[in-house]
């Protein structure tokens, strides 16, 4: 399985970057990992729709053909860690070779990206910074693989 992550900008807090790197390294024992850090779009409050549209175009341009796309969205489906492990097992059983995970910019995701997504995923009903969402996502993917492998990490 290959996981590709599309993010805007680098984590601003060093402790989050360290945590992300740690879990990406751990997850790399179970899946091939690729992270594409895209350039953040600039604009003021009045330019929100333009910024969102440009970010959407940029994200769609970087999705590999044939990739299963999971977009993080507040209105997405919530899973327990065990359910996420089952979803990954299903992807593997269906022959999904690549899954692309997308976290939008500060304004969220363009409608075009949500429409392209095969799955809208919510990490929680709580609101997190985009950098913290990255850390939570890679940690939960690692946790799902440890559940599948039967190791003690997930308890």
The two tokens of residue 68 are 């299963």
pLDDT of amino acid 106: 84
Candidate CATH numbers 3.40.1280.10, 1.10.150.120, 1.10.287.130, 2.60.40.1190; the one for domain 2-149:
3.40.1280.10
pLDDT tens digits, one per residue of 82-121: 999 999 999 999 988 999 999 998 888 999 999 999 999 9
pLDDT of amino acid 155: 64
User: What is the average pLDDT across 138-143?
Assistant: 98
CA dihedral (153, 13, 110, 101) positive or negative: negative
**99 forms bridges with which residues in the sheet?**
3, 68
pLDDT tens digits, one per residue of 4-50: 999 999 999 999 999 999 999 999 999 999 999 999 887 766 788 88
What's the pTM? 0.94
Tell me the HSE value of 59 on the side-chain side, using a 13 A CA sphere: 33
pLDDT tens digits, one per residue of 141-154: 999 999 999 998 76
pLDDT of amino acid 69: 98
Helix/strand/coil (H, E, C) string of 90-131? Answer: HHHHCCCCEEEEECCECCECCHHHHHHCCEEECCCCCCCCHH
């Amino acid at each position: 399985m290959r996981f590709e992550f599309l993010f805007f900008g680098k984590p601003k807090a060093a402790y989050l970057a360290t945590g992300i790197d740690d879990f990406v390294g751990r997850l790399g024992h179970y899946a091939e990992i690729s992270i594409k850090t895209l350039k953040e779009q600039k604009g003021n409050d009045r330019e929100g729709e333009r910024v969102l549209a440009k970010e959407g175009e940029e994200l769609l341009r970087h999705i590999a053909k044939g990739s299963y796309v999971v977009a993080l969205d507040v209105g997405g489906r919530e899973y327990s860690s065990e359910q996420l492990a089952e979803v990954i097992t299903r992807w593997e059983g269906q022959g999904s070779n690549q899954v692309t995970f997308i976290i939008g910019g500060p304004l969220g995701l363009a409608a075009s990206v949500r429409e392209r997504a095969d799955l809208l995923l919510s990490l929680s009903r709580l609101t997190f910074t985009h950098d913290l969402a990255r850390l939570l996502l890679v940690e939960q993917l690692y946790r799902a693989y440890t559940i599948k492998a039967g190791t003690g990490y997930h308890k």
